[in-house]
Structure 1
Amino acid sequence: MERIDQRRSLDDKKTTLLTAMQEAVSSDYRKLKDIATVLSDVEETRDIANKIMTKYEDKIPQDDDSTVVQPQEAVGGNEDRASDILRNNYSALSQSITEPVRVAKLLHEEVIPDEALSCVMSTRGSVSDSRAVLLKAVRDAVHSNYKHLELFVTVLRKFSETAHVGDTIFEEYSSSLDDNEVDKHGNHKILFPRNMKKEFEGMRSEFGSTFFQVRRIFKSKKNVLDIDDMKELISDWFPDLKPQLSDKTTIVNVAWTQNAMTLFKPSLDQFIEVIDKVEDKHEIMIFSKCENIQFLIPTVLEKRTITGLFIQSSFLSHADILSFSSQLSTNKSLTGLVLSDDSIDDDGVAVLAQSLKDNETLENLVLTKNPDITSDSAQPLAELLLTNKTLSRLYLYHTNIGTDGVLMLMKSLRTNNTLSVLSLDEKHEKICATLPYYEQIRGILNIYK
C-alpha cells in the first residue's frame, strides 16, 4: 500500500485507508484477521477489533481459514506455519513489547531491512506505532523465510517483558515445523529454554575446564604420549570427530614464545584462561580462525603491553569493529595491526579507517589477502592517510582494489608526509608509473610480486 499524503484532510485519510483495507481483504479474506490484530493494538479501536474477530470466527470455519492460500501470497510449507505462529501470538507481542526501537536495532540486517528500521525509528514518539511497524516488518520477514522467526525469538528472550512470549513461540515453532527442518545443526541456530541457562553454563564451564586439563597433560607428557595415536583412538570411537582431529593443532592450540602468544580456534573460555597468563614480556598476540574474535579484541586492547595484534582467518564485520572502535582510537600501545586472510571486507575497512584517524601510535597496518576489499575501501583509506599522523606502512596486496581505487590512494600520497611504504599488487605497477607525480611517490610504493 502506498504512503498516505499527510497534507490531506483527516476524512480523506480515513477514506483512503478503508479503501486499501477493503482491497486487501477482497484479494485475500484472511487479511481481515491481520487487520483486526493491528486494530487491537490501538485502544480506541480495540472493541471494534474484537467484534471483527468474533464475527470472523463465527462465519469462517477454522480449518478453511488455515488451508486456503492465495497463489500470489503463498510461499509454502514452513513459511506459512511460521507466519501463523506469529499471527497467533500477535496480541501477546502487542502488549509485551515496550521497547520496539531496541528490538528493531537487534533485528536489523539479519531480519529487518534498513527501511523498516528507519520507519520504526521515525515513529519512536509513539510506542504503539513503533511496535506496529516493527511487527509488520517481522511478519514480512518470516513470510519470506521461516527461520527469521528463530532470530526473533532469540531477541525476545533478551527482554524480561517478552521472554515468556518468546518461549511460547519457540514451543509452537518446534512442534509445528517439519521434522527434517528442525533440529538440524550446521548453520541452524539451536535455541534452549531459559530455565536451562544456569545448567547449560555449568556444563560448558565443566567441559572447558576438563578440556584444558587434558590439553595440559598432553603438553607436559608430549615425550610419553603420542598425540597421533591418541587422535587415531578417538577417531575410532567417535568417527564424527575425525575431520576436527585431522588438524595438527586441535589438541594443543595455544603456543607461547618469548614475547608472543598464539591462539588457534580458541573458545571464549580458553581465551579467558590464557589472557590471565599474559605477562608484560608478551608484546604480540596472534589469533587464527577465531569464531568469537569480536569478543576477544576489547580485552586485548586493554592490555597496555600489547604492541602487535595479528588476526588471521577470523572475520570481523562492520558491527564487530564498531563495537571496539573507540578503543582503537584511543589505544596508546598498539603499533602494528594485521587483519589478513578473509578477516575484513569493505564495510569493515570503512569503520576501521574512521577509528584510526585519531590514533597516535599505530605505525603498521596490514590488510592483505582479503578478497572482499575492493575499490570501495579506497576512499576511507585515502581519508585515513590524509588525517593520521603516525601510520608509516600500509599493506594492501592480494585484495580486489581496482585501478580507480589505486588512483584515489595515489592522490592522497601527494599530501601525506608520514607514509613510507604502500604495498600493492603487481598489476597496479604500470598505471602508477604513468602518473605525472610518479617520481614524487616512487620511493613509497612497494609492488608485491
Structure 2
Amino acid sequence: MTENVDIPKIKEIKTRSNVERASLFLSLIKQDSVLLDQLRKKEHGKPKAIRWYDDGVELTSPSLIQCQEVVSLLTYKHMIIVIKESSPDIVCDLLPVLLQNEKVKSLDIRDTQLTQDCISSLCNLLANNKSLLNLFLTNCSIDDKAVADITNVLQTHNNTLLGLTFNNNPRITSVSAQSLSELIINNSTLTSLQITDTSISSDGILLIIQSLTINKNIKLYLGMKDKDTCTEYHDYNIIKDR
C-alpha cells in the first residue's frame, strides 16, 4: 500500500483528487524505473493476487504495483473486472482507469469497504460512461447515502447500465426504498436489480415491488426473508415472474 512506501512521489499522488490519482500514478510509474523497482521489491514474496481469465481478471487485495501491471496488460478481450478485499484507496485509484476503458463491460467489487470518496468518484464516472453494462457492489459497506447517489446518477445521466447489484449490504435500510423504487420507475434501461441481504423492512420491500407494475422490463432479486412480503402483495400474480 502507498503508506508503506516511503517515496515522495507517492505522497504527491495521495494529495490529488480521485480522478487524478490513477492517471498520475500510471504516468509516474511508467516514467520512473527507480520507483517501479522499489515497488516491485515491496511485492517480492507476497502471494499472487491476480487471476487472469479469457474474458477478464480478478484482483484480490491488490497493491498499487499489481494494479498498474494489470491495467497495462488489459486487452479488448478483458471485459470483466473483479476486485475483492481491496482497500478504498486502491479502488479509488482504479475506478477512473477502468471506467474510462470502453472495453470494460462488467465491474464486480466484493468484500471491500467503499468510502464516500469512492462512491462520489464512481458516480462521476458513471455519469459519463457509455460502455459499462453490469455493476456489482457486494458486501461493500454501501449505505443509504450511497444508494441515493448511485440511483440518482442512473436516473439522470446514465442509460447504458443493464444490471445493478447491492447484495449483502446491511447498512442499506428502508430509507433506500424510495430511491430504489424511483430508479425502477424512471430508468428504462436497467433490466436487473439485486438487493438481497439488506436491512430494508417489509414496508420498504413493498414500496419497491409496487414499482414493478409500472416498469415491466426489469427483474428484481430479493432474499428469502422477503418471500412472504412478496407473496402477500395483492398484485403478486402480476409480478411473480419478475
TM-score tier (shorter): 0.7 to 0.9
2:121 aligned residue = 323
1:424 aligns with 2:222: yes
2:180 aligned residue = 381
Q: Which has the larger radius of gyration?
A: 1
2:61 aligned residue = 265
1:207 aligns with 2:38: yes
1:401 aligned residue = 200
Q: 1:422 and 1:266 mapped to 2: Cα distance?
A: 32
Cα deviation code 1:348-390 (max 9, x no counterpart)? 1111111211322211111111111111111111111111111
Q: CA deviation at 1:438?
A: 1.4
Does the CA-based 8 Å contact 2:184-2:211 persist in structure 1? yes
Does the CA-based 8 Å contact 1:342-1:371 persist in structure 2? no
2:81 aligned residue = 285
2:106 aligned residue = 308
Q: 1:333 and 1:339 mapped to 2: Cα distance?
A: 18
Q: CA deviation at 1:210?
A: 2.4
Q: 2:190 and 2:146 mapped to 1: Cα distance?
A: 18
Matches within 5 A, 1:98-117: none
Matches within 5 A, 1:364-375: 364-375=163-174
Change in 2 beyond 3 A, CA 1:294/1:200: closer
Q: CA deviation at 1:275?
A: 0.4
Change in 2 beyond 3 A, CA 1:199/1:352: closer
Percent identity reads 31
Q: In structure 2, what residue type is equivalent to 1:208?
A: L
2:139 aligned residue = 341
Matches within 5 A, 1:179-194: none
After TM superposition, what 4+ stretches of structure 1 lie above 4 angstroms from structure 2? 198-205
Q: 1:333 and 1:205 mapped to 2: Cα distance?
A: 31
Q: In structure 1, what residue type is equivalent to 2:51?
A: A
Does the CA-based 8 Å contact 1:317-1:347 persist in structure 2? no
- TM value normalised by structure 1: 0.45
Q: CA deviation at 1:200?
A: 7.2
Q: 1:368 and 1:210 mapped to 2: Cα distance?
A: 37
Q: Secondary structure at the match of 1:297?
A: helix
Q: In structure 1, what residue type is equivalent to 2:195?
A: L
- TM value normalised by structure 2: 0.81
Q: 1:390 and 1:199 mapped to 2: Cα distance?
A: 40
Cα deviation code 1:56-77 (max 9, x no counterpart)? xxxxxxxxxxxxxxxxxxxxxx
Structure (1 or 2) with the greater helix fraction:
1
Q: 1:199 and 1:283 mapped to 2: Cα distance?
A: 29
Matches within 5 A, 1:44-443: 197=8, 205-211=36-42, 214=44, 250-291=46-87, 292=89, 293-357=91-155, 358-419=157-218, 421-443=219-241
Change in 2 beyond 3 A, CA 1:311/1:198: closer
Cα deviation code 1:37-59 (max 9, x no counterpart)? xxxxxxxxxxxxxxxxxxxxxxx
2:21 aligned residue = none
In structure 1, runs of 5+ residues without a counterpart are: 1-188, 216-249, 445-449
1:232 aligned residue = none
Q: In structure 2, what residue type is equivalent to 1:389?
A: S
Q: Secondary structure at the match of 2:96?
A: helix
Change in 2 beyond 3 A, CA 1:304/1:198: closer
RMSD between aligned residues: 2.4
Q: 2:225 and 2:49 mapped to 1: Cα distance?
A: 37
Does the CA-based 8 Å contact 1:317-1:348 persist in structure 2? no
Does the CA-based 8 Å contact 2:168-2:196 persist in structure 1? yes
Q: CA deviation at 1:205?
A: 4.6
Q: Secondary structure at the match of 1:209?
A: helix
Q: Secondary structure at the match of 2:178?
A: helix
Q: 1:321 and 1:427 mapped to 2: Cα distance?
A: 28
Change in 2 beyond 3 A, CA 1:280/1:424: same
Q: In structure 2, what residue type is equivalent to 1:253?
A: A
Q: 1:339 and 1:321 mapped to 2: Cα distance?
A: 11
Cα deviation code 1:213-267 (max 9, x no counterpart)? x46xxxxxxxxxxxxxxxxxxxxxxxxxxxxxxxxxx511111111111111112
Does the CA-based 8 Å contact 1:261-1:284 persist in structure 2? yes
